[in-house]
Amino acid sequence: MFYRPENGHGLPHDPWNAIVAPRPIGWISTRGTQGDNLAPYSFFNATAYVPPQVMFASTGAKADRDGTKDSVAQIAESRVFCVNIADFAMKDEMNASTAVHAAGISEFQAAGIASAECDSIDCPRVAGAPASLECRATRVMRLAGEANWMVLGVVTGIHIRDDCINADGAFDLRATGWLARMGYRGDYARVTETFEMIRP
């Protein structure tokens, strides 16, 4: 089949949500004048090695955040954020943090997720996350469409949970599984298998 997005796809479920998958989840924590916030975003990835950089995009808006969501609004204010990486063992906590709360309500408290302070920025992080990336925002930019925003950041500090470094000294979540977003409303993947291919 072929379809133009502006004309619709005619299927019972939007295939766009499933075509680009699996997607890593950036579990974004922020701090602003209204308090701390935590929310997962699957439009997320690393963008560069040196210096290490990341991006995430937010779609949709809340009535109390003037055309965006809490994460983007707080990053625009503070210029810092933390990307927490969730493994399969933290799937329920990550999912609980998707609940929509009024601005100023901390998902850390609402979902019972332990937090810790970042070292290089003034921001909370998920205390039990396999890895957390402390970031300074370099750009907060509007994307095409209504209430679509992208945040770019430089990583200023990296936390790695000790048990996530294997005997070879590599970051490895195969024991618990990387958590990835698939398509549609609640489809996820647990990645426990990897293979190696050497570039020619």
4-62 residue pLDDT tens: 999 999 999 999 989 999 999 999 999 999 999 999 999 999 999 999 999 999 999 99
> Whats the size of the chain, residue-wise?
200
What pLDDT, on the 0 to 100 scale, is given for residue 183? 87
C-alpha to C-alpha distance for 29 and 128, rounded to whole angstroms: 13
Q: What percent of the chain has pLDDT over 70?
A: 100
Q: Which amino acid is at 165?
A: I
Closest by Cα among 54, 52, 32 to 43: 54
What would the mean pLDDT of 164-184 be, rounded to a whole number? 96
**37 is written with which tokens?**
């916030």
Evaluate if residue 90 carries a pLDDT over 90: yes
Q: How far is CA 160 from CA 13, 36, 103, 163, 171, in A?
A: 37, 22, 30, 9, 8
pTM for the full model? 0.96
pLDDT (0 to 100) of residue 95: 97
